[in-house]
Amino acid sequence: MVEKYKERLKHYTIKRKLRATIGVISLIACIIGVILICGIFAVANNVKSIYQGPMTNISDVADVKYGLTDLQRAINRLLAEGSDNMADRYASFEKTVEGDVNLVVTGVDDMEKHFKTGETKAKLSELQTKINEGEKVRPQVMQLLKSGKIDEAYTLNYNTYLPIVNEIKELTNELETLVNQNGGQYYNQSVCLGNGLAIAGIALVVILLIMSNFFIKTITEVLTTPAKQIVEAAEKMYAGDMSAGELITYESEDEFGDMARTLKGTMKNLDAYVEEISTVLREIASGDLTKDSDEITDFLGDFVSIKESFVYILKHFNTTLTNIAKTSEQVDIGAEDLSKAAGDLAKGTTDQASAVEELTATVETVAALAEKSAEQTQEAYDNVLEAANNAEEERKKMDSLTEEMASIIDISNKIEQITSTIEDIASQTSLLALNASIEAARAGDAGRGFAVVAEQIGKLATDSQKSAVNTRELIVKTIEEINKGNEITESVAQAFEETINEMQKFAGVAQETNEAARAQAEALSQIEQGIEQISGVTQNTAASSQESSAISEQLEERARELDKLINKFKLYRPVNN
């Protein structure tokens, strides 16, 4: 059955194979999922029953027990406190009793709704009967308490109401036990159902894994068998073995079958192409270039370019070898001409070498003269520069002399001012002497001696005034001479300045001449080196011309050998109809 399934699956397309396998696995998974979901719903319903049944009933029973206990506690507290302030305490007591009674009534009503079994319903009926009995007694106790009859209330409570309350508590305990038993049954059912569901889930998952493994293994085998054959054949084809197509035995109507048939045909065609290529290359290697394009197998697709390349190679070889044969003949002729030209070149290079030697001697003489001219120019530059420096020193001395003359003029002007002051003093002294003479004359004999002194002072003032005038005239003449000397000095200084500028210009020209002479000497030195190189090249040319003559003879011999080699090839010659 498995082999039949494999054979049927073999002829499906890959897409259909995968869909079939995934579909079966998905179907099994869906069945398992539905089973597990149903089990989960069953467990959920059971848990819901526990919550809505026993859990709720336990809460209701607890409410009833709490209400009864709190009610009894309130009655006992009121009895214990006595009749003091009964009115205030009774109001609070009455509110407590009302809340507890409502809690008990609500709990009993809820239990009546949720109790399902007959036993619990019977116990609930007994509980309701006892609660009704207690409700008949409780108002009486409360009325006695309200009236302040504590002793009567105490007696009624302990003799009648309290036993009823104890019976009610006993019944609530029995109901609580029944509810717990019912909840335990639901719990056990849930545990059993959960365990069964887990075991079923594990079993179904194991079945799913086994079935999935079977289908995956089957589809893998169906897919990998042809793939291995194709890969093995492709590897051998990659390694260059085109006869490996016989390894592909897979036959089917799926994509792998198409691929196997295509690859097998491809390898067969490639094997034929390789054989044809090898045959053509062997013929070319043996020198047979006579094969025509019609004699080469027609290739398909992109391999058409291989045939075109073969045809091109054969034509190109035929054309090239034919041209080489013609060229070898021309080389033979050219070699003779080259040998003759090489002899003429050797003779010409010898004459050229002699001319180069004469040119070298001339350039050496010119270079020596240029070097000597540069040295003389440098010496003239140094002398002119020294003379310019000396003239600059003399110009500075002339500037100092001009400054000294200016100082003398300044001092002379001050002396002239002093002389003018002396003239003024002498004039005033003469005036004073005249006044003194007049006063002495008036005095008579008493002023005669004073008149003599006044006369002498007048003479002295006159002499001082004359001397001051002479001094001022001498100073004026001196200043005039100094001004003339300043003009001459400034002219000389300007002449020195112009001389220095001209000498500096000459020094610059001498420096440029010196640099030009040195550059000329360096250029001549480079020319001399170039001529020496030319001389070397000329000598090399002479040697090369001799070698060329020898090479031309060898070339002629090689051309004859090339003719012999070309004659070994069989060239294609189209037949003219």
Report for 153-162, 445-454, 493-502, 530-539: range of highest mean pLDDT: 153-162
Q: What are the tokens at 467? A: 């001397």
**Which has more pLDDT, 154 or 58?**
154
Would you say residue 176 has pLDDT above 80?
no
Of residues 335 and 142, more confidently modeled: 142
The whole-angstrom separation of Cα 431 and Cα 201 is 163
Q: What is the mean pLDDT of the chain?
A: 72
Q: What is the pLDDT of residue 46?
A: 60
- SS3 label, residue 571: strand
Answer whether 521's CB lies under 8 Å from 370's CB. Answer: yes
CA angle at 421 for the pair 419 and 427, rounded to the nearest 5°: 105
In this prediction, residue 6 carries a pLDDT of: 62
Eight-class DSSP state of 240: T
Note whether 454 and 436 are within 8 A (CB): yes
Q: What is the pLDDT of residues 340-371, one digit of tens each?
A: 665 665 666 666 666 657 666 665 675 676 67
d(CA 297, CA 311): 11
Q: What is the mean pLDDT of residues 304-333?
A: 68
Residues 6+ apart with CB under 8 A from 570: 287, 288, 289, 290
| Residue 577, pLDDT score | 46
pLDDT tens digit string along 208-234?
A: 788 778 777 777 777 777 777 778 777
CA distance 409 to 478: 8
C-alpha angle 151/153/156, rounded to 5°? 110
Specify the pLDDT at position 229. Answer: 73
**Sorting pLDDT into bands at 50, 70 and 90, what band is 207?**
confident
**Nearest alpha-carbon partner for 266 in 297, 296, 244:** 244
CA atoms within 13 A on the CB side of 490: 8
Give me Rg for the CA atoms of the chain. Answer: 75
Question: Going by C-beta distance under 8 Å and a sequence separation of 6 or more, which residues neighbour residue 443?
Answer: 450
**For the segment 19-46, what is each residue's pLDDT rounded down to a tens digit?**
777 777 788 778 878 877 887 776 666 6
Residue 288 pairs with which residues in a beta bridge? 570
Query: Residue for token digits 């008149």?
Result: 451
Examine the pLDDT at 466 and tell me if it is beyond 80.
no
* Alpha-helical runs (H) found in 11-85: 14-50, 56-81
Token pair recorded at residue 119: 């036993």
More confident residue, 159 or 78: 159
CB neighbour list of residue 272: distance below 8 Å, 6 or more residues apart: 297
| Structural domains in the chain plus CATH codes | 2-223 (1.20.120.30), 246-310 (no CATH), 316-571 (1.10.287.950)
> How many angstroms separate the CA atoms of 274 and 270, rounded?
6
Amino acid letter for position 492: V
Residue 537 has which token pair? 């090249």
> What's the residue count for the chain?
577
Phi, psi of 571 (to 5 degrees): -95, 145
Q: What is the Cα–Cα distance from 30 to 278, expressed in whole angstroms?
A: 63
The contacts of residue 412 (CB under 8 Å, 6+ apart) are: 475, 478, 479, 482
Distance, first Cα to last Cα, the chain: 75
Distance CA 64, CA 81 (A): 26
Give per-residue pLDDT as tens, 231-260: 877 777 777 776 666 777 767 777 776 777
Question: 275: pLDDT confidence band, cut at 50, 70 and 90?
Answer: confident
Tokens found for residue 263: 């690859």
112, 57 contact by CB (below 8 A)? no
Nearest C-alpha neighbor of 363 from the set 529, 515, 519, 533: 529
Residues 574, 290: Cα–Cα separation, whole Å = 9
In the numeric block, which tokens belong to residue 11? 């002829």
**Residue whose pair of structure tokens reads 């050219």 in the numeric block:** 334
One-letter amino acid at 410 equals D
Is the pLDDT reported for residue 521 higher than 60? yes
- As a whole number, mean pLDDT of residues 102-117 equals 76
Question: For residues 78 and 89, is the Cβ–Cβ distance under 8 A?
Answer: yes
C-alpha 554/C-alpha 564 separation (Å) is 16
Residue 289: strand pairing partners: 571
Q: Tell me which H or E stretch contains 288.
A: strand 288-289
More confident residue, 199 or 499: 199
Give me the phi and psi of 288, to 5 degrees please.
-90, 105
Q: How confident is the model at residue 307 (pLDDT cuts 50, 70, 90)?
A: low
Is residue 51 scored above 60 in pLDDT?
no
Identify which of 172, 186, 47 has the alpha carbon closest to the alpha carbon of residue 120. Answer: 172
Q: What percent of the chain has pLDDT over 90?
A: 0
CB atoms within 10 A of CB 45: 12
Helix (H) or strand (E) holding 446: none
Residue partners of 186: CB distance under 8 A and separation at least 6: 46, 49, 50, 53, 54
